[in-house]
């Protein structure tokens, strides 16, 4: 996923969860970004102009030779025994603090009235004081401990026209804190208008860019640390720490007056530079989710011991310990980078290749800076690492934030899928719940029916049986036996959820035979093509049974023959029942429809079927038909 405006908003919502806070942070970030772009554009405009002016200046004088005397005098000393040196010049004497005086002369071609000249020092370590013809022109700040630190900032001093003579003598006092790095670069003297553009460009590249990179890396550290607080993935923590350590080290570039003692400040700077390398080493390892507990614990414990030793070391001891501390951290960083390269040979990840490519150029910048600080070369005032490392942090942070956004997108997709699954499961649960409610309702109905069945059997059944034995006529006895058979049918068939029609039909057949035998009637019962797996619910089978028993009761009631025929047939997805006999049904049309016939019609209609009565003087039948689809 690309890191765009939507990605930034998504990160802010994820980290802070508030629309108002997100809006305020976005406004702040855009303001900072616009300011940074404007400063960068100004720098791009000024930089070519300054280079052109530097190349085109004709009256400015570049001083490359001077006399040198090591002296702690507060005013220019006797320079008759000065040693000739070439500028830029590095010097080193015994002791932590040192002072050296440089002197040279210049003769301007012409000086216009009221024209302001200037002396420009683009490179000095640590601070400088300038005298012209025995008059103090200016200094970069305090020259006694704590010394004002101008080691990364150009200095320019205006020279009043009245002080400029035909032959002029300049004395420059250079004061250094760590004498191993004491230096005076080339000096330029000329009209202030000619030197101002170069000073502006050099100040932008040396100081302003350092401030911008410090602010940017600090914001990146805060962003990565916020992500780590949410996700607890250690690569974000370690790279946030690397950004923070660079911010601390970067402050040393543009801070002139120290807020604490020099000794304490130097310890902070060197410890932060070492922890910068350690944090980068851990970041490289964590990029592929690798952990080496024993090695990491040993490394962190060693760093802790080193820090304790350095913190409690004396002023002279700390400068002896610093190189060993930095070498230890440098080896750790190289090990982390080597691990990343080894992982890349196995997985060929594009991200790892980009990081290794960046590290290659950082290594070149580091070799360049080592060559400058070892005095092997002198290619200007800038150290390349001051510019390449912020770029490395910016690109690395971009890669990490992009990976975080990708993980955030994947999480959103998984959340959406989870929501869909939860919604589907909720529907399934609701469906099952409704089934459970239906089952509970059916169970309650079944229990109630069983209770009614028991009551019917124990009360009405006993009375009907008594009525059978006490009947005065055969017709009454037949009617009582029919009612008793119907009651037995209801009682002996408790409701079930599903019934197989084949099984139920044969039970009905047995009951019908029993009823006919009781009244000396012969029964013929045929079943044709009824599938063995034809299933009906309890309500359907009970309705069919009641229709059948009512039809049989009517046939028995009006019988004048000795045979009743019942036919059950399944054909073309229809189930048909027929009950017939050879009695006289010539007056069938004159019959009044009673409760029994009405109930039969009602039950058949509930089955989406039809019922029909037919009769003549030689016989009659009732048949009903209803659909059934397997």
pLDDT of the residue at 491: 54
pLDDT value of position 44: 44
Write the CA distances from 221 to 58, 238, 240, 527, 618, integer angstroms: 47, 10, 4, 88, 108
> In angstroms, rounded to a whole number, what is the distance separating the alpha carbons of residues 440 and 28?
63
Contact status, residue 237 vs residue 211, Cβ threshold 8 Å:
no
What is d(CA 488, CA 361) in angstroms, rounded to the nearest whole number? Answer: 100
Q: Which of 126-135, 362-371, 603-612 has the lowest mean pLDDT?
A: 362-371
Among left, alpha and beta (phi > 0; psi -120 to 50; other), residue 78 is beta
CB 201 within 8 A of CB 66: no
- In the chain, CATH 3.30.565.10 sits at 471-627
d(CA 283, CA 267): 24
Low-confidence winner among 38-42, 213-217, 263-267, 449-453 (lowest mean pLDDT): 38-42
Q: Are strands 563-571 and 522-528 parallel, antiparallel or unpaired?
A: parallel
Query: Which residue in 109, 287, 127 sits closest to 189, CA to CA?
Result: 109
**DSSP-based three-state secondary structure for 525:** strand
Q: Is the pLDDT of residue 525 over 90?
A: yes
User: Which residues on neighbouring strands pair with residue 124, listed in sequence order?
Assistant: 184
Q: Tell me what the mean pLDDT of segment 574-599 comes to.
A: 80
At 158-207, the pLDDT tens digits run 988 778 888 889 999 999 875 557 888 889 998 888 889 889 988 888 88
Share of the chain above pLDDT 90, in %: 13
Separation CA 62–CA 422 (nearest Å)? 78
In this prediction, residue 12 carries a pLDDT of 44
pLDDT attached to residue 50? 44
Hey, what are 453's tokens? 């069945």
> Do residues 333 and 278 make contact, with C-beta atoms less than 8 angstroms apart?
yes
How far apart are alpha carbons 77 and 71 in whole angstroms?
7
- Omega before 146 cis (within 30°)? yes
Does pLDDT of 541 surpass 80?
Answer: yes
pLDDT at 568: 93
Bond into 126 cis (ω within 30): yes
Instruction: Count CB neighbours of 532 within 10 A.
Output: 8
Quick: pLDDT tens for 228-246: 888 788 888 888 898 898 8
In whole angstroms, what is the distance from residue 606 CA to residue 543 CA? Answer: 9
Average pLDDT over residues 451-460: 70
- Which fold is adopted by the domain 61-200? Jelly Rolls (2.60.120)
Q: Answer with the residue of higher pLDDT: 275 or 532.
A: 275
- Say which DSSP state 204 is in: I
Q: What is the DSSP secondary structure assignment for residue 189, as one 8-state letter? A: E
pLDDT at 38: 46
Q: By mean pLDDT, which of 249-253, 459-463, 503-507, 517-521 is the weakest?
A: 459-463
Cis peptide before 13 (omega within 30 of 0): no
Cβ neighbors of 343 (< 8 A, separation 6 or more) are 287, 288, 290, 349, 352
Looking at residue 171, what is its pLDDT? 94
What band does 13 get if pLDDT is binned at 50, 70 and 90?
very low
Is the overall model pTM greater than 0.85, yes or no? no
- Here the contacts of 610-616 (C-beta below 8 Å, separation 24 or greater) are 611/547, 613/588, 614/585, 614/588, 615/585, 615/586, 615/588, 616/585, 616/586
Domain at 471-627, CATH class = alpha beta
329: exposed, middle or buried (C-beta count within 10 Å: 0-12, 13-18, 19+)? buried
Residue 566: the pLDDT is 94
Parts of the chain belonging to CATH 2.60.120.260:
61-200
């Amino acid at each position: 996923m690309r890191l765009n405006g939507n990605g930034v908003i998504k990160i802010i919502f994820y980290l802070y969860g508030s629309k108002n806070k997100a809006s305020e942070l976005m406004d702040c970030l855009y303001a900072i970004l616009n300011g940074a772009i404007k400063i960068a554009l100004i720098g791009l405009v000024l930089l070519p102009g300054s280079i052109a002016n530097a190349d085109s200046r004709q009256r400015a004088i570049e001083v490359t030779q001077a006399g040198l005397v090591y002296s702690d005098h507060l005013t220019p000393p006797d320079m008759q025994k000065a040693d000739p040196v070439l500028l830029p010049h590095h010097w080193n004497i015994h002791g932590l603090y040192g002072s050296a005086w440089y002197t040279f002369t210049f003769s301007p071609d012409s000086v216009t009235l009221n024209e302001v000249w200037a002396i420009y020092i683009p490179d000095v370590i640590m601070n400088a004081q300038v005298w012209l013809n025995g008059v103090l022109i200016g200094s970069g700040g305090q020259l006694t401990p704590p010394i004002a630190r101008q080691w990364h900032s150009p200095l320019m001093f205006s020279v009043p026209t009245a002080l400029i003579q035909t032959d002029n003598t300049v004395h420059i006092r250079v004061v250094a804190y760590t004498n191993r790095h004491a230096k005076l670069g080339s000096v330029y003297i000329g009209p202030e208008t000619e030197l101002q553009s170069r000073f502006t460009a050099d100040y932008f590249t040396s100081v302003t860019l350092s401030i911008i990179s410090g602010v940017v890396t600090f914001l990146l550290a805060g962003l990565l640390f916020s992500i780590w607080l949410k996700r607890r993935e250690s690569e974000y923590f370690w790279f946030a720490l690397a950004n923070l350590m660079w911010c601390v080290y970067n402050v040393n570039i543009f801070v002139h007056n120290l807020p604490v003692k020099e000794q304490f400040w130097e310890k902070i700077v060197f410890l932060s530079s070492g922890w910068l390398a350690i944090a980068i080493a851990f970041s490289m390892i964590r990029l592929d989710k690798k952990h080496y507990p024993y090695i990491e614990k040993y490394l962190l414990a060693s760093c802790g011991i080193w820090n304790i030793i350095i913190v409690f070391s004396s002023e002279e001891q700390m400068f002896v310990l610093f190189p060993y501390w930095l070498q230890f951290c440098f080896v750790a960083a190289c090990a982390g980078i080597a691990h990343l390269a080894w992982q890349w040979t196995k997985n060929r990840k594009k991200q790892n290749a980009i990081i290794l490519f960046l590290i290659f150029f950082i290594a070149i910048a580091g070799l360049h800076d080592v060559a400058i600080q070892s005095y092997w070369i002198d290619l200007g005032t800038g150290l390349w690492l001051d510019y390449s490392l912020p770029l490395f942090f910016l690109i690395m942070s971009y890669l990490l934030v992009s990976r975080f956004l990708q993980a955030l997108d994947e999480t959103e997709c998984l959340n959406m899928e989870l929501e869909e699954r939860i919604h589907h499961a909720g529907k399934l649960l609701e469906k099952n719940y409704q089934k459970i409610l239906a089952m509970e309702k059916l169970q309650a109905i079944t229990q109630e029916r069983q209770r009614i069945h028991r009551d019917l059997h124990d009360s009405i059944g006993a009375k009907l049986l008594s009525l059978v034995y006490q009947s005065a006529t055969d017709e009454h006895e037949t009617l009582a036996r029919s009612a008793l058979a119907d009651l037995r049918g209801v009682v002996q068939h408790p409701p079930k959820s599903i019934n197989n029609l084949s099984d139920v039909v044969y039970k009905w057949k047995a009951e019908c035979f029993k009823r006919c035998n009781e009244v000396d009637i012969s029964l013929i019962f045929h079943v044709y093509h009824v599938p063995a797996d034809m299933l009906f619910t309890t309500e359907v089978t009970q309705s069919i049974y009641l229709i059948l028993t009512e039809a049989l009761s009517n046939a028995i009631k009006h019988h004048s023959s000795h045979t009743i025929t019942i036919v059950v047939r399944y054909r073309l997805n229809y189930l048909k029942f027929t009950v017939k006999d050879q009695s006289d049904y010539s007056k069938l049309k004159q019959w009044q429809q009673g409760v029994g016939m009405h109930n039969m019609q009602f039950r058949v209609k509930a089955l989406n079927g039809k019922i029909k009565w037919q009769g003549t003087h030689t016989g009659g039948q009732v048949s009903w038909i209803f659909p059934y689809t397997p």
